[in-house]
Amino acid sequence: MSPYRDNQKQKVLVVDDQPINLKILGQALAGDYQVLVASNAEQALQIAILQQPDLILLDIIMQGMDGYQTCRALKQDSRTVNIPVIFSTSMDSEADEVKGLEAGAADYITKPYNLALVKARVRNQMQLKKKTDLLEKLVSLDGLTEIPNRRNFEQHFEVEWRRAQRSGLPLSLCMIDIDSFKQYNDNYGHGAGDICLQRVAQTLASTAKRSGDLVARYGGEEFVVLLPDTELEEASVVSERLRQAIESQAIEHKYSSCAQVVTISAGLASCQVQIGMERSQLMEEADKFLYEAKQQGRNRVSSGIYSPDVA
């Protein structure tokens, strides 16, 4: 991490294996931005995921993973795919610039630094990022609950599915349904139903707080939680925590078939994603477990591992 910090400012991550370059860029940008620094690709990827910078200034020639590889890794991860990257390098041929842009970079600056030019290009990318973030928020959030909508979920699911195929890491999916919600609407009114949906959505979103987890409204009173890099045991803990969080809100529901307060049923499915599997298979499995939870009395989590024969 960097000493240049101001939580009110946009964040820029400077990645370079030469301390002098980190110092030059850090000091040049610290007046306008919160500056984070990393001296290698592994550190940069970790900071990018945890800190979610608005922009990354990335050196190309580094020990271990070079800038091209690092940029591709950023663009292949749903958690960092939308962070713009400006390459910083002493290589200034057209072929080098084309290679950088093809790797996913938004811009290119050369060494030795012209700091006025660096600041101008960073400023341009930051302004563009603000506009892009606003537009993305408008199209990717559910209008009522203000959490990610189904479109947003589908995009993340596709990216995480491909990543799980490449990495061999597990992927878990939890389908959630508010118990007896029709009876809630019928007896308390649709206005109260909307407020209930908002409270449930915000409780789910604030409870599933791990980096990479995504809570989305799937439709109606259904929600979905995507849990990357998560095996069944850990996903079960998260899912049960979600169920308890909703129940502890103590939203009155005298017309529920299973409790006096609003509750949820959840179906959880986990898998090791294999070549030949389809995302819809995991969705169908989670939905099957959701049906099982309802059949067993609601206000519970039903779960299992999905391991189809894809040979």
Catalytically annotated residues: 221
DSSP H/E element including 28: helix 19-29
E strands in the chain: 11-15, 34-38, 55-59, 85-89, 107-110, 170-178, 214-219, 222-228, 264-272, 301-305
The answer to whether the beta carbons of residues 267 and 291 sit under 8 Å apart is: yes
Burial of 176 (0-12, 13-18, 19+ CB in 10 A): buried
- Which token pair is 145? 């609950």
Residue 1, C-beta contacts closer than 8 angstroms, at least 6 positions apart: 36, 37, 47
**Phi and psi dihedrals of 263, rounded to 5?**
-135, 170
Rounded to whole angstroms, the Cα distance separating 259 from 244 reads 13
CA 58 – CA 112 distance, rounded (Å):
15
Report the distance separating Cα 63 and Cα 39, nearest Å: 9
CA distance 266 to 257: 16
Q: Could you give the CA distance from residue 269 to residue 38 in angstroms, rounded to a whole number?
A: 37
